[in-house]
């Protein structure tokens, strides 16, 4: 699946407490009569969208398939069980992490498994195109695929397009002894595009217009119409590291001795110079030799499909936000060859196999309905492997609220929907003079424009524009750490079974109360220049939380936090968090800010656009007292980082 950036200007070897719920999936029934030998069904490998209503019949015999057969390893259930135990503060195994070598020896794939699966694939008529310690890649025609996996390929309509997919649940020979975790690539949504090793230049420049507040409420738009019974302030120019460190209780901690990995697609050609200049301009510590490194693929693909240059700003935001909040932490950028799942999984796997970091920040995702269960199983296996090594994965929760406006369906985002990942939601943040924490709301914005005569806000408060993602999964059952914290009204929103709810924790994401970022961009004259602008999205929240976790790990005497959700929920209801609500100034008291933008996104030559942004209105989601589906347990408070120092 193609992954998108969460920014505003993605094997099913689960323990009994963390399963995918098969009953919630549109699974087919394997044709056991097609093979005289016993078969093992690969549950959760048929896409949800491959329904009887969308079925257009058998795919042509000429259909070609490129697939990956992921291997389960020698003890898939044991991997999931140990991943939970080592992450649970109440377990005797808590914090007893394994090295990559120990994890491989205890749970990894054996040579015998690889050899047997490879031999079977070849015997079915498939061509083996690659083998590593995690999967075997194959290619073949329709007949070979159907023979190997005991299913038929049919064409299905999806989003106005036709794609092929298995018509029933694929299976493998039972004689393989459970060596196969899952198979991906039996469906072709979306299509692969050609390889291209050349990356485009930075995207066209974007700049903010003033006037600004220097801190929340410092500059009031006195000559503009009132809102909510008073004059609204102008938005800030953008928070920097000292502001966010003050907001989230970083204190004396800097993340020293901790490494944060950042995964995005592609790689900005100017990241080193941009990050260095940004730090110098905004009071951050200068980078020490080797503090910022990159691990990049040998080649890129899907450059046009993924709009590669658009990812440069994402990497820049992530790097600069992590360094701003955890200036002593090492940063390793691990670039994916594209924005497609297989390449992103490869990038995450590279972090785990080489233990490149203890904390992994990911500012990308997609809606849950686009996630196929086979890909979900592959992600979960990587997350579990990371957990046993003390590695935690943090994902932005999305920027479209409940996703109804964008997709027509209320749904959560992925891969943060996985119970093995930490989903990071978003807030609007108000810091007063001298970085005094005033309040936060759940991030959700409505926009109304200044009328032509300047006397009113047209259609006030206006339509929903963006907000933190959240909601109830239809794929994953409620994990143990959410029990007793997440209200039934949320966990059982889709039925009688309690399910996984996002997000887990939150930080600033509203672009109107966002972060100042510095990046080389392409100006209208075609020249590339460094400039700074304010940005937001849960793409800001995820690296901010990752950096706070680096500070907390330093406070915890350098002992890895690992998969963080059990520890995050253990602190629920304590002074470790700001309990964020939509109405921090009182029920019924609305909050709004005035924003002025360049019509052309660059300068005043094309005119200015003045708008009023109403805060705390996230689609159908609500930030309430206690856990909620906008901010999770809340944002880190003054006691969050220090709570790890006491362990």
Return the CATH number at 480. Answer: 3.40.50.200
Residue 316 lies in a domain: yes
Q: How many residues does the chain have?
A: 647
- The answer to whether the CB of 325 falls within 8 A of the CB of 242 is no
- In Å, how far from its chain's centre is CA 229? 38
**Rounded mean pLDDT, 419-430:** 98
- In Å, how far from its chain's centre is CA 282? 27
Query: What's the pLDDT at 36?
Result: 57
**Averaged pLDDT of the chain:** 92
Residue 196 lies in a domain: no
Least confident of 15-24, 88-97, 190-199, 634-643: 15-24
Least confident of 15-19, 211-215, 294-298, 493-497: 15-19
What's the pLDDT tens digit per position in 555-605?
999 999 999 999 999 999 999 999 999 999 998 899 999 999 999 999 999
Q: Looking at per-residue confidence, does 315 or 37 come out higher?
A: 315
Q: Is residue 142 located within the same domain as residue 245?
A: no
DSSP letters for 86-101: HH-TTSTTTT----HH
pTM greater than 0.85 (yes/no): yes
**Rounded mean pLDDT, 306-313:** 92
Residue 221 lies in a domain: no
User: Residue 372 pLDDT > 90, yes or no?
Assistant: no
What's the pLDDT tens digit per position in 190-246?
743 222 345 677 889 999 999 999 999 999 999 999 999 999 999 999 999 999 999
Query: What's the pLDDT at 363?
Result: 95
pLDDT classification of 46: cutoffs 50, 70, 90: confident
> What is d(CA 170, CA 152) in angstroms, rounded to the nearest whole number?
9
Residue 80 preceded by cis peptide, ω within 30? no
Q: Is residue 312 located within the same domain as residue 436?
A: yes
> What is d(CA 281, CA 274) in angstroms, rounded to the nearest whole number?
11
Structure-token pair, residue 334: 């691990």
Domain holding 65, by residue range, is 4-184
- The answer to whether the CB of 519 falls within 8 A of the CB of 316 is yes
**Rounded mean pLDDT, 18-45:** 53
Q: Looking at per-residue confidence, does 2 or 405 come out higher?
A: 405
Query: What's the pLDDT at 356?
Result: 98
Among 137, 155, 184, the domain boundary falls at 184
Query: What's the pLDDT at 24?
Result: 31
- The answer to whether the CB of 228 falls within 8 A of the CB of 589 is yes
Q: Phi, psi at residue 431, to the nearest 5°?
A: -110, 130
Q: What single DSSP character describes residue 355?
A: T
Q: Is residue 138 located within the same domain as residue 258?
A: no
Q: Phi, psi at residue 599, to the nearest 5°?
A: -60, -35
Q: Is residue 254 located within the same domain as residue 142?
A: no
Query: What's the pLDDT at 28?
Result: 30
User: Residue 447 pLDDT > 70, yes or no?
Assistant: yes
Domains in the chain, number: 2
Residue 220 lies in a domain: no
User: Residue 18 pLDDT > 50, yes or no?
Assistant: no
Place of tokens 């006397």: 455
**Rounded mean pLDDT, 40-59:** 90
- The answer to whether the CB of 360 falls within 8 A of the CB of 263 is yes
Query: What's the pLDDT at 640?
Result: 98
Q: Is residue 287 located within the same domain as residue 157?
A: no
User: Residue 32 pLDDT > 80, yes or no?
Assistant: no
Among 140, 169, 184, the domain boundary falls at 184
Residue 223 lies in a domain: no
Q: Is residue 255 located within the same domain as residue 160?
A: no
User: Residue 92 pLDDT > 60, yes or no?
Assistant: yes
Q: Is residue 564 located within the same domain as residue 479?
A: yes
Query: What's the pLDDT at 47?
Result: 85
Residue 191 lies in a domain: no
User: Residue 496 pLDDT > 90, yes or no?
Assistant: yes
What percentage of the chain reaches a pLDDT higher than 90? 88
**Rounded mean pLDDT, 364-375:** 90
Query: What's the pLDDT at 193?
Result: 24
> What is d(CA 158, CA 207) in angstroms, rounded to the nearest whole number?
38
Encode burial over 79-99: b for 16+ CB neighbours within 10 A, e otherwise. Answer: bbbbbbbbbbeeeeeebebbe
Query: What's the pLDDT at 4?
Result: 66
Query: What's the pLDDT at 171?
Result: 95
Q: Is residue 406 located within the same domain as residue 549?
A: yes
> What is d(CA 247, CA 240) in angstroms, rounded to the nearest whole number?
11
Residue 86 lies in a domain: yes
User: Residue 439 pLDDT > 80, yes or no?
Assistant: yes
Query: What's the pLDDT at 279?
Result: 98
Q: Is residue 54 located within the same domain as residue 142?
A: yes
Q: Is residue 321 located within the same domain as residue 466?
A: yes
Place of tokens 């000429």: 62
- In Å, how far from its chain's centre is CA 132? 26
Among 184, 201, 231, the domain boundary falls at 184
Residue 116 lies in a domain: yes
Report strand pairing: 153-158 vs 55-58. Answer: antiparallel
Query: What's the pLDDT at 3?
Result: 60
Q: Is residue 301 located within the same domain as residue 446?
A: yes
Q: Is residue 498 located within the same domain as residue 375?
A: yes
What percentage of the chain reaches a pLDDT higher than 70? 93
Is residue 521 classed as helix, strand or coil in its secondary structure?
Answer: strand
């Amino acid at each position: 699946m193609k992954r998108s950036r969460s920014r505003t200007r993605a094997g099913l070897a689960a323990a009994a407490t963390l399963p995918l719920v098969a009953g919630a999936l549109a699974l087919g029934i394997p044709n056991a009569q097609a093979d005289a030998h016993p078969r093992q069904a690969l549950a959760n490998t048929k896409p949800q969208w491959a329904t009887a209503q969308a079925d257009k019949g058998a795919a042509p015999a000429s259909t070609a398939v490129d697939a990956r057969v992921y291997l389960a390893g020698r003890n898939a259930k044991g991997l999931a069980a140990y991943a939970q135990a080592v992450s649970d503060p109440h377990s005797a195994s808590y914090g007893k992490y394994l090295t990559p070598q120990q994890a491989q020896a205890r749970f990894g794939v054996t040579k015998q498994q690889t050899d047997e699966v490879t031999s079977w694939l070849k015997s079915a008529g498939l061509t083996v195109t690659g083998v590593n310690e995690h999967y075997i890649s194959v290619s073949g025609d329709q007949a070979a695929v159907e023979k190997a996996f005991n299913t038929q390929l049919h064409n299905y309509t999806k989003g106005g397009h036709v794609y092929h997919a298995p018509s029933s649940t694929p299976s493998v020979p039972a004689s393989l002894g459970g060596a196969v975790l899952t198979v991906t690539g039996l469906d072709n949504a979306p299509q692969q595009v050609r390889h291209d090793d050349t990356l485009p230049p930075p995207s066209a420049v974007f700049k903010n217009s003033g006037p600004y507040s220097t801190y929340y409420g410092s500059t009031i738009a006195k000559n503009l119409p009132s809102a909510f019974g008073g004059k609204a302030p102008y938005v800030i120019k953008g928070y920097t590291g000292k502001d966010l460190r003050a907001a989230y209780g970083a204190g004396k901690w800097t993340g020293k001795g901790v490494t944060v990995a950042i995964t995005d697609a592609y790689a900005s050609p100017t990241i080193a110079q941009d990050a260095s200049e940004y730090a110098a301009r905004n009071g951050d510590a200068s980078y020490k030799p080797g503090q910022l490194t990159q691990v990049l693929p040998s080649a890129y693909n899907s450059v046009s499909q993924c709009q590669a240059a658009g990812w440069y700003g994402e990497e820049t935001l992530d790097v600069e936000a992590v360094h701003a909040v955890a200036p002593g932490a090492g940063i390793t950028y691990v670039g994916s060859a594209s924005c497609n799942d297989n390449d992103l999984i490869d990038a995450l796997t590279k972090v785990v196999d080489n233990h490149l970091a203890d904390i992994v920040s990911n500012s990308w995702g997609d809606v849950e309905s686009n996630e196929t269960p086979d890909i979900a199983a592959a992600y979960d296996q990587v997350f579990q492997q990371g957990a046993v090594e003390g590695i935690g994965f943090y994902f932005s929760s999305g920027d479209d609220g409940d996703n109804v406006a964008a997709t027509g369906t209320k749904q959560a985002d992925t891969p943060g929907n996985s119970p093995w990942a930490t989903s990071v939601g978003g807030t609007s943040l108000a810091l007063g003079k001298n970085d005094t924490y005033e309040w936060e709301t759940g991030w959700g914005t409505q926009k109304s424009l200044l009328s032509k005569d300047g006397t009113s806000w047209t259609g006030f408060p206006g339509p929903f524009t963006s907000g933190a993602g959240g909601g109830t999964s239809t794929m994953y059952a409620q994990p143990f750490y959410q029990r007793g914290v997440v209200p039934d009204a949320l966990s059982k929103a889709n039925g009688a079974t309690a399910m996984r709810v996002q997000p887990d924790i939150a930080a600033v994401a509203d672009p109107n109360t966002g972060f100042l970022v510095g990046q080389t961009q392409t100006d209208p004259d075609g020249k590339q220049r460094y400039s700074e602008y304010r940005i937001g999205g849960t793409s800001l929240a995820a690296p901010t939380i990752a950096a706070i976790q680096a500070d907390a790990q330093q406070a915890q005497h350098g002992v890895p936090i690992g998969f963080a959700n059990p520890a995050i929920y253990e602190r629920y209801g304590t002074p470790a968090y700001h309990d964020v609500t939509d109405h921090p100034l009182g029920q019924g008291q609305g909050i709004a800010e005035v924003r002025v933008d360049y019509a052309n996104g660059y300068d005043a030559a094309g005119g200015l656009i003045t708008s009023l942004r109403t805060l705390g209105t996230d689609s159908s989601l609500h930030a309430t007292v206690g856990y909620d589906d906008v901010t999770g347990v809340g944002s880190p408070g003054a006691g969050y980082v220090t709570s790890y120092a006491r362990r």
